[in-house]
């Protein structure tokens, strides 16, 4: 479980992510937010050990999040009846998220948490960097991929794939349990 | 702006005196201004602020999105300043401004590189052929230098005339670099304006470089049927001594080819090249071979095949001397920009240099006399080749397995790999004798060898990948059309109307380097998709080579399958990096030749025309260098959007439009002066796509322009809808923004689209007859 950038030379500046080793702790963090969005990159299609589309749909339902899919996987989300997923290129969603006046995908308000999963390491590194500098007052970020991402506010540490799958499962279980016991204000 | 060669100018329409009768004389200090019937436009030799208002119009619509690559600034002795989260550094700079400053620095490096290249070419060619080589680009090309005419307001007639523009560009680069100094420019938008300025100049410099070599060295002159030439490692005749030239400046290579011809040795020595020098070698002599793009440098060198490596300038790996040493090859450096610590042998006797090189008395030679380079390279190759037979191979399979067994599975190689390739897994299989996983990496590896440097036990990982892919390498035998240079005026006349009205769906230019995130095949797939859809497809540089490196089922490359005209469904290879100026030159010519807009020093009007009417998009899928940044910037100022691949995000700034902000998408109708909403066309100016599918859909979308006729818009929408549906499965969710009237809707999907539009509450809207962002054009038009 490494807590340094996966690509060694991609060293962030003075502000760097806090790695959250315990999925329950990450669940506790996530449930504090009222309006999360999950941003899904194309690499989840290359993950073979887990059905990540299904996972993200479940996660989104659990935490009442909008989902932006930045690639052709949007078809799979729609095929599974999850119409809440929207296609938007990654750079466009970042551009919107940095705008304090933007009203969100469905026009019901901007987000307070962006959860990233499924991107090339360097590409996500830069997307998160933009939000770190230009949206930090309103928006926090979590990197849910299997690599430590220094420009997120919180990140999963670098994990072997099998450990990562377990981490994700435990995270969702924790969220499901805790939100069932104590629904978020928004879900009531 | 004072012009370097025209500090003082007098124009006399008519003067009668007792001594003489003078009519139509124009004199400047240092130079007689050439006769040119076209009146001079408003911005000859523009300073950075002359076109600032145009830049700001673009930047109001296409706002910079900064994606900082570094939170710090470490350029001065205040030390590292933490700029994160809007903190300002010791000099007062914030992070947005720092990013734009670094973008400008990158573009200055790029433009300086092209300008220096152009200067060297012009000086060298003048020395060899004289200043009076006529500006003859063939009978089909009368607008010989669209960039020079547009930016500088001058029409070159000879090789020597190119120098005035170079003087101007050099002075501007110095100014732009000065602006980067601590405590100068403090506005990110002004930095961006300067980025545009330097980009514009970069295209003038590239144009100078390419037309100089075309007119003096006899390159193809806009020939759509330029010959098909050989490309690939497999095309090399291994029985001959091999001279490999790497870089961008073709002069040393031409000297080698000339020497071989003079001495009757052309059949005895194989000359080949890598990167843009290779393009230009085949434009000079079709017997030369192209090995491949920039990322083939170590692939080829580690095969041990080259006997002599001749380096000129730009994009050359700086570890070539040590790599050459490993294979017993010798290196000759030919550029003052790339001396490599070698002893200067410019004035030494050629036979002495050959002896010193071949017998290992010197590590390499710096030779700045190109004629001498030709002689030394050939003689050294002939002497060295018989001695180097033992070097001409990769490690054997047993060695691959032995090295693979040394792997500790620490994954440091993967952590260093830009593409995060599964190297450990491949080594694991190789240790068991199965090299197939290593071979798979070949197509995705960009040959940077960061993996090797990171490996704690010193496994030569890249050599193992190469060995595992040896068969694949030997089968690299392809055909590419030699770079044809500029687009002919008659071709512009033939297609200009269809491009401007939209009935040709667009011009897609595949340009740039070979830093691909998912291998080169993606580029070929994109290229083929647009060719089949009848776009005009143009290519240059490393991208043009990559396009040649895959064959269809009949064994043909796209160059063999598609004609080389500038026309719908054709594939044009303009040539090396500097030939990119012909792509931007073609869009300028559309405004000038087809639409008859005045060209001379009339930048804003031409750029405005292109932005609003010419559906052209650049795709730099593997863009890597600072030169690529400068080239892109030149396209931006002209209103041509550029898409880069995911690694291009590291340029740290995008220029994005916001389709949800209606107020950003109004233009003037020059005929009435009314402001009209035209929709988000083109939506972005600079954009890093995550996947090839996203890039293709975006490129089709970015080809739309306010001026499209209903028929043209319907054709463009056909492709946008079709590509979106192909990859995403539905109609594009933003489709309503691009349909102006029912006539815009493609007939084949009319019912479905109308239903979609009804759900969105869409209403027809007027289309401007003459869309423009320039108020001055409205006034001119209305008053007329």
What is the arithmetic mean of pLDDT over B420-428?
97
DSSP assignment letter at B227: P
Check B688 against A92: CB less than 8 A apart: no
Cβ(B684)–Cβ(B712) under 8 Å?
no
Residue A186 confidence (pLDDT) above 80: no
* Mutation choice for B interface testing from A4, A14, A136 by most B CBs within 10 A: A14
Give A4's contacts in chain B (Cβ within 8 Å).
Answer: none
Tens digits of residue pLDDT in A31-71: 999 999 999 999 999 998 899 999 999 999 999 999 999 99
Q: Is residue A154 part of a domain?
A: yes
Check B71 against A7: CB less than 8 A apart: no
Could you give the percent of chain B with pLDDT greater than 70?
A: 95
Which alpha helices (H) appear in A31-160, and where do they start and end? 52-63, 74-79, 90-97, 121-134
Check A122 against B418: CB less than 8 A apart: yes
**What six digits make up the tokens of A30?**
């996530």
Q: Is residue A11 part of a domain?
A: no
Give A8's contacts in chain B (Cβ within 8 Å).
Answer: 412, 415-416, 454
* Mutation choice for A interface testing from B691, B720, B729 by most A CBs within 10 A: B691
Dihedral of alpha carbons A126, A129, A131, A134, sign:
negative
Q: Would you tell me how many other CB atoms lie within 10 Å of the CB of residue B501?
A: 19
H/E stretch holding B365 reads strand B365-366
Q: Which pLDDT value is given to residue B26?
A: 56
Whether the full predicted model's pTM is greater than 0.90, yes or no, is yes
Q: How confident is the prediction for chain B on average, in pLDDT?
A: 95
Q: Is residue A22 part of a domain?
A: yes
Tens digits of residue pLDDT in B491-536: 999 999 999 998 999 999 999 999 999 999 999 999 999 999 999 9
CATH assignment of B50-217, among 1.10.40.60, 1.10.1740.10, 1.10.8.190, 3.40.50.10490: 1.10.8.190
CA dist B634 and B203 (Å) reads 6
Residue B33 confidence (pLDDT) above 70: no
Least Cα separation, residue A8 to chain B (angstroms): 6
**Exposed, middle or buried by CB within 10 Å (0-12, 13-18, 19+), for B77?**
exposed
Which residues share a beta bridge with B243? B271, B308
Least Cα separation, residue A96 to chain B (angstroms): 8
For A125, the closest chain B residue by CA position comes to B69
Domain membership of residue A44 as a residue range: 18-182
Check A8 against B658: CB less than 8 A apart: no
How far, rounded to the nearest angstrom, does the alpha carbon of residue A168 sit from its chain's CA centroid? 11
Tens digits of residue pLDDT in B110-143: 999 999 999 999 999 999 999 999 999 999 999 9
Domain CATH number, residue A49: 3.40.50.1220
Cβ(B715)–Cβ(B674) under 8 Å?
no
Q: How many domains does chain A have?
A: 1
Q: Which pLDDT value is given to residue B208?
A: 98
CA dist A179 and A61 (Å) reads 11
How far, rounded to the nearest angstrom, does the alpha carbon of residue B250 sit from its chain's CA centroid? 17
Residue B29 confidence (pLDDT) above 80: no
Least Cα separation, residue A85 to chain B (angstroms): 12
B237-278+297-384 has CATH 3.40.1390.20 classification:
no
> Does the beta carbon of B696 lie under 8 angstroms from any beta carbon of chain A?
no
Check A89 against B69: CB less than 8 A apart: no
CATH assignment of B478-775, among 3.40.50.970, 3.40.50.2030, 3.40.50.11900, 3.40.640.10: 3.40.50.2030
Omega within 30 of 0 (cis) for the link into B682: yes
What is the arithmetic mean of pLDDT over B441-463?
97
Q: Which pLDDT value is given to residue B6?
A: 46
DSSP string, B637-656: HTT--EEE-GGGGGG-EEEE
User: Are B237-278+297-384 and B478-775 the same fold in CATH?
Assistant: yes
Could you give the percent of chain B with pLDDT greater than 90?
A: 92
Q: Is residue A121 part of a domain?
A: yes
Tens digits of residue pLDDT in B671-709: 999 999 999 999 999 999 999 999 999 999 999 999 999
Q: Is residue A3 part of a domain?
A: no
Domain boundaries, chain B: 50-217, 237-278+297-384, 397-459, 478-775
Least Cα separation, residue B95 to chain A (angstroms): 8
Check A87 against B728: CB less than 8 A apart: yes
What is the arithmetic mean of pLDDT over B553-560?
96
For A11, the closest chain B residue by CA position comes to B70
* A33 Cβ contact list (under 8 Å, min separation 6): A112, A113, A140
CA dist B762 and A125 (Å) reads 39
For A97, the closest chain B residue by CA position comes to B65
On the CB side of A103, how many CA atoms lie within 13 Å of its CA? Answer: 5
Residue B35 pLDDT grade (very low, low, confident, very high; cuts 50, 70, 90):
low
CA dist B703 and B720 (Å) reads 9
Residue B392 confidence (pLDDT) above 90: no
3-state secondary structure B732-783: CCCHHHCCCCHHHCCHHHHHHHHHHHHHCCCCCCCCCCCEECCHHHHHHHHH
Complex-level ipTM: 0.95
Check A14 against B82: CB less than 8 A apart: yes
**What six digits make up the tokens of B126?**
């003048």
Residue A13 pLDDT grade (very low, low, confident, very high; cuts 50, 70, 90):
confident
Out of A13, A89, A119, name the one closest to residue B84 (CB): A13
What is the arithmetic mean of pLDDT over A17-24?
97
């Amino acid at each position: 479980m490494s807590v340094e950038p996966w690509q060694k030379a991609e060293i962030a500046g003075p502000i760097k992510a806090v790695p959250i080793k315990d999925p329950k702790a990450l669940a506790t963090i996530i449930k504090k937010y009222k309006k999360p969005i999950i941003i899904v990159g194309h690499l989840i299609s290359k993950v073979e050990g887990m059905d990540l589309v299904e996972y993200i749909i479940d996660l989104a339902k659990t935490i009442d999040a909008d989902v932006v899919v930045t690639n052709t996987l949007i078809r799979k989300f729609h095929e599974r009846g999850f119409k809440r997923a929207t296609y938007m290129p990654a750079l466009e969603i970042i551009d919107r998220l940095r705008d304090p006046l933007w009203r969100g995908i469905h026009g019901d308000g901007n987000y307070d948490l962006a959860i990233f999963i499924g991107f090339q390491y360097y590409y996500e590194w830069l997307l998160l960097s933009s939000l770190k500098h230009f949206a930090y007052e309103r928006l926090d970020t979590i990197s849910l991929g299997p690599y430590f991402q220094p420009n997120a506010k919180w990140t999963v540490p670098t994990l072997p794939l099998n450990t990562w799958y377990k981490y994700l499962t435990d995270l969702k279980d924790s969220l499901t349990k805790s939100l069932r016991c104590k629904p978020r204000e928004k879900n009531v | 702006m004072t012009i370097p060669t025209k500090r003082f100018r007098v124009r006399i329409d008519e003067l009668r005196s007792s001594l003489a009768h003078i009519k139509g004389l124009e004199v400047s200090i240092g130079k007689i201004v050439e006769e040119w019937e076209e009146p001079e436009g408003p911005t000859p030799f523009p300073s950075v602020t002359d076109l600032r208002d145009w830049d700001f119009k673009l930047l109001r619509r296409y706002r910079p999105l900064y994606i900082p690559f570094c939170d710090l600034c470490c350029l001065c002795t205040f030390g590292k300043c933490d700029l994160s989260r809007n903190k300002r550094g010791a000099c007062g700079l914030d992070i947005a401004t720092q990013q734009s400053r670094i973008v400008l620095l990158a573009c200055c490096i790029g433009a300086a590189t092209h300008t220096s290249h152009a200067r060297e070419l012009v000086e060298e060619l003048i020395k060899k052929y004289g200043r009076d080589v006529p500006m003859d680009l063939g009978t089909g090309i009368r607008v010989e230098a669209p960039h020079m005419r547009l930016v500088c307001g001058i029409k070159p007639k000879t090789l020597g005339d190119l120098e005035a523009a170079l003087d101007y560009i050099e002075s501007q680069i110095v100014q732009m670099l000065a602006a980067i100094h601590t405590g100068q420019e403090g506005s990110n938008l002004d930095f961006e304006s300067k980025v545009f300025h330097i980009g514009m100049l970069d295209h003038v410099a590239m144009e100078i470089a390419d037309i100089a070599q075309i007119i003096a060295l006899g390159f193809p002159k806009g020939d759509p049927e330029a010959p098909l030439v050989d490309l690939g490692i497999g095309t090399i005749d291994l029985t001959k001594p091999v001279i490999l030239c790497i870089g961008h400046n073709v002069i040393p290579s031409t000297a080698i080819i000339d020497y071989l011809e003079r001495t009757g040795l052309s059949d005895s020595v194989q000359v080949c090249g890598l990167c843009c020098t290779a393009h230009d070698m085949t434009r000079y002599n079709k017997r030369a071979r192209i090995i491949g793009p920039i990322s083939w440098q170590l692939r080829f060198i580690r095969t041990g095949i080259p006997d002599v490596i001749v380096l000129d300038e730009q994009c050359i790996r700086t570890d070539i001397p040590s790599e050459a040493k490993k294979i017993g090859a010798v290196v000759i450096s030919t550029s003052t920009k790339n001396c490599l610590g070698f002893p200067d042998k410019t004035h030494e006797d050629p036979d002495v240099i050959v002896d010193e090189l071949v017998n290992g008395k010197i590590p390499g030679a710096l030779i700045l006399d190109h004629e001498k380079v030709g002689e030394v390279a050939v003689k050294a190759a002939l002497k060295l080749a018989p001695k180097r037979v033992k070097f001409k191979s990769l490690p054997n399979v047993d060695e691959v397995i032995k090295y693979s067994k040394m792997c500790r599975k620490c994954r440091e190689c993967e952590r260093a790999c830009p593409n995060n390739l599964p190297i450990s897994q491949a080594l694991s299989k190789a240790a068991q004798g199965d090299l197939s996983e290593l071979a798979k990496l070949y197509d995705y590896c960009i040959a940077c060898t960061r993996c090797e440097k990171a490996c704690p036990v010193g496994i030569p990982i890249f050599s193992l990948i190469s060995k595992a892919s040896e068969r694949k390498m030997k089968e690299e035998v392809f055909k590419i059309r030699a770079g044809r240079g500029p687009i002919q005026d008659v071709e512009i006349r033939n297609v200009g109307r269809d491009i401007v009205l939209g009935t040709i769906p667009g011009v897609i230019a595949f340009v740039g380097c070979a830093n691909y995130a998912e291998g080169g095949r993606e580029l070929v797939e994109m290229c083929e998709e647009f060719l089949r859809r009848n776009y005009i497809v143009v290519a240059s540089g490393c991208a043009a080579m990559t396009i040649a490196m895959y064959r269809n089922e009949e064994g043909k490359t796209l160059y063999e399958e598609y004609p080389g005209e500038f026309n719908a469904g054709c594939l044009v290879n303009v040539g090396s990096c500097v030939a990119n100026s012909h792509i931007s030159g073609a869009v300028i010519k559309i405004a000038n030749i087809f639409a008859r807009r005045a060209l001379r020093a009339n930048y804003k009007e031409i750029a405005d025309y292109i932005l609003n009417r010419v559906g052209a998009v650049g795709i730099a899928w593997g863009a890597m260098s600072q030169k690529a940044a400068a080239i892109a910037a030149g396209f931006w100022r002209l209103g041509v959007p550029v898409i880069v691949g995911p690694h291009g995000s590291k340029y740290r700034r995008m220029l994005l439009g916001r389709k949800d902000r209606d107020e950003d998408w109004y233009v003037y109708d020059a005929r009435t002066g009314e402001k009209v909403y035209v929709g988000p066309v083109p939506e972005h100016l600079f954009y890093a796509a995550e996947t090839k599918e996203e890039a293709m859909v975006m490129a089709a979308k970015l080809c739309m322009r306010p001026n499209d006729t209903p028929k043209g818009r319907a054709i463009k929408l056909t492709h946008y809808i079709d590509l979106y549906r192909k990859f995403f499965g539905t109609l594009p969710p933003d489709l309503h923004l691009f349909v102006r009237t029912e006539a815009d809707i493609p007939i084949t999907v009319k019912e479905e689209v109308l239903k979609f539009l009804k759900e969105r509450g869409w209403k027809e809207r007027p289309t401007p007859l003459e869309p423009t962002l320039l108020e001055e054009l409205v006034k001119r038009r209305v008053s007329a």
